[in-house]
Each structure stands twice: as C-alpha cells, then as structure tokens.
Structure 1
Amino acid sequence: MARPKAATENDAPLTDAAVDRKALLSETLRRRIVSMELAPGAVVDELALSEEFGLSRPPVRELMRQMAAEGYIELEANRAARVSSMSHQSLRNFFQAAPLIYIATTQLAAANATRGEIDELKQIQQQFRDAIEKNDVENRVLFNDAFHLQIGKMAHNPYLMPSLRRILIDHARLGKIFYRHPTTNDMEEDLDKAAHQHDEIIDAIERHDASAAGDIVRAHMDLSRRRITEYVAPVGVDVPLAY
C-alpha cells in the first residue's frame, strides 16, 4: 500500500498570521505600483518581498501571478517579474478604452446603485476633496482611483470590472506623474473642476440619470486627456536667436 505523501510547503495551508501578512503585502505592493514608488518596468524582487513580509516564496509567487492577471505586474519565462510598463502604445490604448469603460460603468451605476453604495461614494469624494485641500498628491490620486472603482462596483456588472481595474492602474500612475503640486493657476482650476465633476457624477447617479452621468464622465475624461497631453507635449521654451 502506497504511503501518503508528506505535505509540502505549497500544499500546507497558511496560518492566520500568514494570511494577514499576505493581505498586507497585496495592499502594499499595489500601493507602491500605483504611487510610482515602484516605477514602470522596475524589477519586483520576490525574495526581498518574502523577507520583508515574513512569508515563504509560494504565497508570494501566488500573489504575483494574481497581480499579473490584474495588470500590475508582467511575468515572462526566464525573466524577473517587473512592474507593468507604460509606453506610447499603452497610453494610446488607455485613452481609446478608458472613456468606453468609465461611461459604461457610470451609466450602469446610475441604474443600479443602492443608497448605501452612494453614501460610500460620497465619503470617498470627501476624502478626495480633503487631499486636494492638503496638497496631498498621493492620497489625491488614490482616492480618485477609489472613487471610480466604487462606481464600478455600483454598476454590478462583473464583465466590466477586470477592464476597469486595469485602466485604473494606469490612470493612477499617470495622475502621480503629472498631478504633482499644481504649478499654474489653471491647474488649480482644473483640480477644482475635476472635484466638481465628481459631485455632478454623484448627483446624476443619485437621480438615476444614466444619460447625464455618461455625459459628465466623458467631460471628466476630456479634462484628464488635455492635462496629460500638455505634460507629454509641453510648449517649447522660447529662446531668442542671437544676431
């Protein structure tokens, strides 16, 4: 009679403490990526993360595979894991897809949102406004991300959520790049306008007005597109020619 195999490290269930450490690693790694602490293309050191969070390699590998499926990390055979890249093509893909996903989720949220979900969206919006008041760039980006993710949850459509989550990764990273402390008055005005558009989106969802919600979020995306265009292609420096 064959003897049962001994449990391996891969098979052994995680202790409650290890589950908590894995959840902390998941939250921390996501935050480091969207905040640009880990830059696009940077190596994600599996061994260093294992040591930092007191986890064995298998749960760290499992988490990295999950995050690769979500779009945070790129995994290739015989190469170290890397933070997902941001290239000209990825920016182009982002601006082609983002309006479609944001409009669809926002319109569905207007049709399907519950009272409790709307109240939670309002709380996130207040945190977003607080971050603007404090010139807190990181939390401004993170709460903007949370705002649109909450709208996605309110849409109650599981087919849209993977696309929305992937778009939000790059939206947050782009925000971290160019929405640093405002350098011009019109950037301050745009921040105020973006916050006001959030309020209008909430109002449209609360009134279950899908058409208005879609129009507002389209204008919201146009504002982001203009800012990113200005960052990527700034006005050239005017240098007088010497005679």
Structure 2
Amino acid sequence: MSDETEIKRAKGTGAKFAYEAIRDEILSLTLAPGALLDETSLADRFGMSRSPVREALIRLAGEDLVVMLANRSTIVAPIDVTSFPKYVEALDIAQRMNTRLAAELRSDADLKAIAKRQRAFEAAVKTGKHLAMSEANKQFHMAIADAGKNPYLSGFYQRLLDQGRRMLHLHFQYLERTHDGYLLTDEHADMLDAIRDRDIPRADALAHAHTRQFRDNFIGFMQENYSATMPLATPQAAE
C-alpha cells in the first residue's frame, strides 16, 4: 500500500472523527446554538491539521448544523424558534403519512425491525443519555418509515427528524422535570400495536398525538426558560 493511500485514508478518517465529535456535541447541546467554532482550536484539540476540520464543518453545514459566515468564521446553527410552528406542521404531516403507510403495508419482518428499535429506545431511556435517546428515537421512527415503502416520504421524514434532534433534547429535559418517566415509550408501544393490527385510523391518530405531545412540551420548556426574552405562539397546524 502506497504512502499516498495511507495519507488519503488518514485524512478521511480525521475528517470523519472530527465530524462525529462536533456533531455529537452540537446535537447534545454541549456546543450551544450560536457558539463560535474556531478551526485552529478544533484542530489542536483533535490533534490534526485544519483541513479535516474544515471538511467536517462543510459537511455539518450541509446538514444545517453549522453556519459558515461571510467573514470565514463558523458558528453552531441557532435553533430558530420562530420557525417552530412550520417545522411542527411538516413533522406532523410526515409522521402521520409514514405511520399510516406502515400500518397498511408492513410485513412481519418490518414489525420485528420496529419492535427491535422500540426495545433499543427503552434501553436508551434507562441510560438517561439524551444523545443516545434521540438517536434511538430517530431509528424507531425510521423503522416505521421503512415499513411504509415510500423512499421519498421516508427521506423527507429523516431530514426533519435530524433537524429536530436538538429540540428533542430540550423536550427530554422538560419531561425529566415534569413527568415520572418518559411518555414516549408508551406512545411508541401504542404505535407499534396499531401498525401490527393494520389499524390505519388509529396509527394516524397516534402519530398525530405524538407530534402534539412533542410540540406542547417543547413550547412549555421554552416558555419556562425564555418567556421573558422570547415571545412564543402556540402553533395551530397540529391541533
């Protein structure tokens, strides 16, 4: 194997490592929205050159997790609370459509995959680690989307779930303070039952209620923490 191949592999590995490390810190809110990301400091921290860090930041910008500004600086993407009603509207539609299709078209293999993801989410909840919980939550819903057999709808749904992971972490924090346990585990189990029974109306209603629960708890969190500085209106689209 040539030295050039080794160098290329090292660069690729470095960029992947930097991407995953920065992404996890953004999603878990360890890096706060709006925080400055200095390439030199990150390169020193990871023990690599600036090139793989830059490559990682470009990839994160493509996922709307960082913003690359005109002055060549990069910041963690803000959480745009003003667009939350529109986000929830889109999430509600995507969640309901994918869950309806899963109830109609699921196979026995699909049911096993959804049930496996549900167990993984329950295990993640027991760890109390929000990053693991949000990833397991996403995988559960994507198993439902896969059962719906529509790659266009599932692709749209996946992007929405990715964009909402930081808000979901705030949602988890709110539930920790206001509920005994996580209602999501019960809701997921009910959705699986409806899909197993091919009960399309119930699957649709549960998916809709699932979005409303997330919406209401997120708004509750924001009003509890930021109402003095940020006006919030309850979105009407997901009623």
From 89, 112, 117, the equivalent of 1:119 is 112
Choose the corresponding residue for 1:188, options 170, 180, 190: 180
SS in 2 for 1:82: strand
- What CA distance in whole angstroms lies between the structure 1 residues aligned with 2:94 and 2:61? 20
1:156: Cα distance to partner? 4.2
**Is the 8 Å Cα contact of residues 107 and 214 (structure 1) preserved in structure 2?**
yes
Contact 1:49/1:60 (8 A) holds in 2: yes
Pick the aligned partner of 2:196 from 191, 206, 218. Answer: 206
Q: Determine the C-alpha separation between the residues in 2 that align with 1:23 and 1:46.
A: 15
**Aligned counterpart, 1:232:** 222
Identity %: 26
Unaligned runs of 5+ in 1: 1-8, 237-243
What displacement does 1:195 show?
Answer: 0.9
Partner of 2:73: 80
The answer to which structure has the higher helix fraction is 2
1:59 CA displacement: 4.0
**Which residue of the partner structure matches residue 219 of structure 1?**
209
Q: Which of 29, 50, 59 lines up with 1:66 in the alignment?
A: 59
**Correspondence 1:15 to 2:15:** no
1:130 aligns with 2:123: yes
Q: Partner letter of residue 214 of structure 1?
A: D
Tell me how far apart the structure 2 counterparts of residues 228 and 44 of structure 1 sit (CA, whole Å): 27
Corresponding letter in the other structure for 1:194:
L
Change (3 A) 1:211 1:24: farther
Against the structure 1 CA distance between its residues 99 and 13, is the aligned structure 2 distance closer, same or farther, given a 3 Å change threshold? farther
Q: 1:74-120: CA deviations, max 9, x gaps? A: 22322422222113323222222210121222233344555445433
Counterpart contact for 1:71–1:166, Cα < 8 Å: no
TM-score of the superposition, structure 2-length normalised? 0.75
Measured against aligned partners, the alpha-carbon deviations of 1:1-39 in whole angstroms (never above 9, x if no partner) come to: xxxxxxxx9xx8963344333333333222211111111
Bigger Rg, which one: 1
Query: Paired residue for 2:133, among 137, 140, 162?
Result: 140
Cα offset for 1:207? 4.0
Q: In the alignment, what sits opposite 2:89?
A: 96
Greater shift in the superposed pair: 137-146 or 216-225 = 137-146
Number of residue pairs aligned between Structure 1 and Structure 2: 222
Local SS of the residue matching 1:122: helix
Q: Give the CA RMSD over aligned residues.
A: 3.2
> Could you say what secondary structure the match of 2:37 adopts?
coil
TM-score (norm 1): 0.74
Query: Which residue matches 1:241?
Result: none
Shift of 1:220: 0.8
